[in-house]
Amino acid sequence: MSEGSAIVQAEGLRKTYKPDVRALDGLSFSVPAGTVFALLGPNGAGKTTTVRILTTLARPDSGSARVAGIDVLAHPSRARSVIGAVSQHSGAVSLLTGQENLALQGKLHGMRGRALHRRVAGLLDQFGLAGAAGRPARTYSGGMRRRLDIATVLVHRPAVLFLDEPTTGLDPEGRADLWAVLTGLAGQHGTTILITTHYLEEADQYAATVAIVDQGRIVAEGTPDQLKAGLRGDSVVLELASPGQVEPAQKALAPLPEVRGLSADGAVLRARVADGPRALPAVLAALDVGGVPVRSVTVARPSLDDVYLHYAGRSFRQAEGITIS
Amino acid sequence: MTTARQAWVILTGRYLRELYRQPAVIFITLTQPVIWLLLFGELFKNITKIPGFGAGNYATYLTPGVVIMTAMFSSSWTGMAYIEDMQTGVMDRFLTAPVSRGALTAAMLAYQAVIVVVQSAIIIAMGWGIGAAFPGGAAGIAALIGVAVLIAVAMAGLSIGFALLIRQREALIGASSTLVMPLTFLSGAFLSLRLVPGWIAAIARFNPVNWAASAGRAAIGSHPVWGTVGSYAGYLALALAVTAVAATQAFRTYQRSI
């Protein structure tokens, strides 16, 4: 498969759980080979269901999915030999040592003897686990365990690695470590990585391509820069005295022709405008007239949060709050 | 892709290795049946004096009963390992590897069979220690262990299927204790069916625990009627086939629901 061609393709995936909970509503996207691809969305958007379908754990009601040229729904067991999947839970057998966990995975993929032994030792080394290789996985720290999970599903050299919310529960340092590992895998080893995340900053910083998922559909797809540039606009970020001030502020700003949209998060109100510096005086004047004091104000270039607001019609935090995961 | 045969051997090895790492579990697994044997042996010591019991030595009568009860008890918990694997993500990892669902089930059943063989051998040795006689010799003992494995594996299949469908520790514990005790006491495991009320004897005829206990007891006797042992073993094998297929099918239901 050449660089740039799609190695994962999801087409019109639909899935409804009983009793009529629509998890996926015609979800489609494609992942370029050898890159890091992020499915970004709030809890309950359908990210996990999508990954479960692509990794043969679940079947959609309709739609199609291909991984490395293999039809996942028609040939699940062939697809299983070319993928590695790390679920939200660890996946490591906690009583087995790191070395045994990797060896078990390799054996299940038909690897044997010397080749397996060398591969396991190499991965343990690469993931900084050589020193802990002989200890049961249950003695590992959270970050070590995540690295073990990833090393384990790499034993059979999968073409595509799927990670469902891999950074959830890690401290910032652990997250940065993990991302260094993942971007290294995609860069040096040509492994395609599909991850799901609900951290906007993470997707923005590390993913080559981002697909924004909302209510079972992809609402936007592209590089983070493309997505942000597509908005052609800025945000005026207003810090108000208290969350109670948000409502009068929204009332004061909504009639302004410059303001295209408003989203609130605590006592912070974001106003989407075409040109931040030019809209600023009007925004401040309107708040002054409305009697809403402003604690601080900044003009920001669009973030993925704004992208999300633009395409999903509500702020990311709101979506997190109102959906049930 | 690994063949199904290799996969189940690999996965059985995983379970045995995990057991090896838990000496406390090994200790409980091996001592519990011995406690049953000694406790029931003392408690019902004088039962053979009741006219019509039909056996002179209660240790001889009890030993196959405890072998079968132990097989039932330990295998009824099999599903717990599955629930643990489902909750820790281990199951997902196996299901995304090129391994058949049948091999996943077979591995657990094979592991359970190994446990039951070891447990049964210990109970039989202890039974001999407290005075049980085995006039049927090695062939009889082997047949007793054989039917213990059959009922254990049948029960393990049921437990796995239940675990995959319900996925709740508490529910499995409840179902297991609700099922195993009555099945054991509605059989001739501890008491000759000649002495129990008619309705219990009637139920016992259709109770797999009674099939296993009767077959095991007949096998270790001085003149085993192999036809009877064989037909009971056949019923048990049928029950096993049903629960093993049900367990593998439960995987499909499990995967549809996640």
C-beta atoms of B255 and A104 within 8 A: no
> Contacts of residue A80 in chain B, CB cutoff 8 Å?
1, 96-98
Count CB neighbours of B144 within 10 A: 28
| Domain range enclosing A269 | 232-301
Do the domain assignments include residue A89? Answer: yes
Distance CA A1, CA A32 (A): 10
Q: What is the CA radius of gyration of chain B?
A: 19
Q: Which among A320, A307, A302 has a CA at the least distance from the CA of A215?
A: A320
Q: Please tell me the predicted confidence (pLDDT) of residue A43.
A: 83
Top-confidence range, A203-207, A262-266, A315-319, A320-324: A203-207
Q: Considering only alpha carbons, which residue of chain A is nearest residue B99?
A: A108
Are A133 and A51 in a shared domain? yes
Do A93 and A35 fall into the same domain?
yes
From the CA of B162, how many Å to the nearest CA of chain A? 19
For residue A49, the chain B residue with the least C-alpha distance is B258
A103 plus A208 within the same structural domain = yes
Structural domain includes residue A174: yes
If asked whether residues A221 and A237 sit together in one domain, one would say no
The tens digit of pLDDT for each residue in A126-181 reads 999 999 999 999 999 988 999 999 999 999 999 999 999 988 888 888 888 889 98
Q: How many CA atoms lie within 13 A of B222 on its CB side?
A: 3
Domain's final residue, options A195, A210, A228: A228
Is 0.90 surpassed by the pTM of this model?
no
- Report pLDDT for A1: 40
Same structural domain, A199 and A99: yes
The answer on A212 and A248 residing in a single domain is no
At residue A305, the pLDDT reads: 78
Residue where a domain terminates, one of A183, A201, A228: A228
Q: Per the CB < 8 Å rule, is A58 touching B21?
A: no
Residues A216 and A237 in one domain: no
Question: Is A148 in the same domain as A261?
Answer: no
Residue A94 falls inside a structural domain: yes
Yes or no, beta carbons of A57 and B258 under 8 Å apart: yes
CATH number at residue A198: 3.40.50.300
Q: Is residue A32 part of a domain?
A: yes
pLDDT at A45: 87
Say if residue B2's pLDDT is above 80.
Answer: no
Is the confidence at residue A69, as pLDDT, over 70?
A: yes
With DSSP H G I counted as helix, E B as strand and the rest as coil, what are the percentages for chain B, rounded to 5? Answer: 80, 0, 20
Cβ within 8 Å, pair A96-B18: yes
Q: Give residue B182's pLDDT.
A: 92
Decide which of A209, A228, A247 is a domain's last residue.
A228
pLDDT of residue A306: 77
Residues of A with CB under 8 A from a CB of B: 52, 55-59, 77-78, 80-81, 83-85, 87-96, 100, 104-105, 107-110, 136, 152-153
Same domain, A291 and A157: no
Whether residues A134 and A59 share a domain: the answer is yes
Question: Does the beta carbon of B138 lie under 8 angstroms from any beta carbon of chain A?
Answer: no
For A171, the 3-state DSSP assignment is coil
Q: Calculate the alpha carbon distances from B9 to A195, A200, B20, B94, B154 in Å.
A: 33, 44, 16, 14, 19
Using 50, 70 and 90 to split pLDDT, how confident is the model at B72?
very high
Residue A313 lies in a domain: no
Task: Give yes or no: residues A283 and A134 share one domain.
Answer: no
Number of domains in chain A: 2
What pLDDT score does B257 carry?
74
Give the pLDDT confidence score for residue A321 in this predicted structure: 61
State the Cα–Cα distance between residues B38 and A53, nearest whole angstrom: 54
A114 and A134 both lie in a single domain: yes
Q: A-contacting residues of B 72-131, CB under 8 Å?
A: 87-90, 92-100
- Under an 8 A CB cutoff, do B99 and A108 touch? yes
Q: Which residues of B touch A136 (CB under 8 A)?
A: 21
**Using one digit for the tens of pLDDT, what is the confidence trace for B200-232?**
999 999 999 999 999 999 999 888 889 999 999
Give me the interface pTM, i.e. the ipTM: 0.87
